[in-house]
Amino acid sequence: MSNFKPLILIVLIMGCVQPSANSDKTTSADTTKTENTQTDSSIVSQTTTIPDSAFVNIKSLSSEFAFDMRYATSNNFLKAVVYDCDNCLMRHEVAKALLSANDSLIKMGYRVVFFDCFRPKEVQKQMWEIFPDSRYVANPYKNGSVHNKGAALDISLQKIDGSPVDMGTSFDHFGEEAHHAYRNLPDSVLQNRKILKTVMEAFGFHSIKTEWWHYNYGAQSKYTISDQALCP
């Protein structure tokens, strides 16, 4: 019997060793997705290594936002469709801050709903033609809009169940009622505006005096006006 002991021991050891279920797989933490780029742009999909200055479509980074992209419809002050698609582009640095802001809002029972993101400068010129008032529409022949740089957003709040949040005026209401300092509004509306403003400012965004919906990332955008294509 002593001649069989080594063989038995080898069989027992081999039976106890099981191959790892992940031995031939790469974990999601080790996987970097391929960048999705237009042939003439730096639009990229969600990856683990995206430059801060790259343009991203926020729709590809999270499903936790709502969208009402007005300039891809005729429901805007231009009364015309001026975007060929409803992409919502912004610099990656801006998107990261916005993802954090939205996470904070979700914990409070809200989420961000988008009206506009990156705006091509040709559309800025159309807007200026119709409404040349720099309190509401940036002059494209001077400094242009922070929207044209990919670092400004027009947003509101929506409840998690999809119901709208009353902000007192419609989007693109060019009047004092849309100003942050305007107080002749129901307390509930003032509170809604305060929630949005407080959370956005906590994550590096800055409001402007005349539009409750408009937020720039950073006090002064470090980005320049871009020729980025909005649509593929």
Which pLDDT tens digit goes with each residue over 137-165?
999 999 999 999 999 999 999 999 999 99
Residue 14: phi and psi, rounded to 5, are -65, -35
Cβ contact 154:114 at 8 Å: yes
| Rounded (5°) CA angle 217-221-222 | 125
Residues 205-212, mean pLDDT to the nearest whole number: 97
Residues 102-122, mean pLDDT to the nearest whole number: 98
pLDDT at residue 98, as a whole number: 98
pLDDT at residue 221, as a whole number: 85
What token pair was written down for 76? 């805007």
Cβ contact 226:123 at 8 Å: no
Position 232 confidence tier, pLDDT thresholds 50, 70, 90: confident
pLDDT exceeds cutoff 50 at 16? no
pLDDT at residue 214, as a whole number: 98
pLDDT exceeds cutoff 90 at 115? yes
The residue among 29, 151, 47 whose CA lies nearest residue 90 is 151
Residues 135, 184: Cα–Cα separation, whole Å: 20
Residues 160-179, mean pLDDT to the nearest whole number: 97
pLDDT at residue 43, as a whole number: 53
Position 219 confidence tier, pLDDT thresholds 50, 70, 90: confident
Q: Whole-model pTM?
A: 0.79
Domains (ranges, CATH) in the chain?
A: 51-217 (3.30.1380.10)
Q: For residue range 29-85, what is the model confidence (pLDDT) as tens digits?
A: 333 232 333 333 445 544 468 999 999 999 999 999 999 999 999 999 999 999 999
pLDDT at residue 6, as a whole number: 42
pLDDT at residue 37, as a whole number: 34
pLDDT exceeds cutoff 50 at 25? no
Residues 110, 132: Cα–Cα separation, whole Å: 34
Residues 217, 22: Cα–Cα separation, whole Å: 42
Residues 130, 126: Cα–Cα separation, whole Å: 7
pLDDT at residue 28, as a whole number: 32
The residue among 144, 172, 137 whose CA lies nearest residue 156 is 172
What token pair was written down for 214? 């408009």
What token pair was written down for 15? 């039976």
More confident residue, 42 or 210: 210
